[in-house]
Amino acid sequence: MFLKYSNFTKEDFLTFVMRLLEETGVAVVQEKAFGIEGCIGIACTQGLEILREGEKRVRVFIDGKGVKKK
């Protein structure tokens, strides 16, 4: 799953993903690892339930409970 984080924040990649990890416990991979600029990648190796929980946490974070808006 990829998320275009630049749609939600002016923060640089490292600041955004470190805050996301610290505040939600969701770890993501660098966008350039997949050749997709401005995106973060989320992978789930534990099953659909955990992926859904991670998605929920990221949505709450982005919906203003943690993201510095543009």
- Cβ atoms of residues 2 and 34 within 8 Å: yes
What is the three-class DSSP state of 3?
A: strand
Domain boundaries, the chain: 2-65
Q: Half-sphere exposure of 58 toward its Cβ, with a 13 Å CA cutoff? A: 22
* Non-local CB neighbours of 58 within 8 Å, separated by 6+ positions: 3, 20, 24, 26, 42
Which of the pair, 67 or 60, is modelled with greater confidence? 60
For residue range 1-53, list pLDDT tens digits in order: 777 777 778 888 888 889 888 988 888 887 776 677 777 877 667 788 888 88
Predicted TM-score of the model (pTM): 0.63
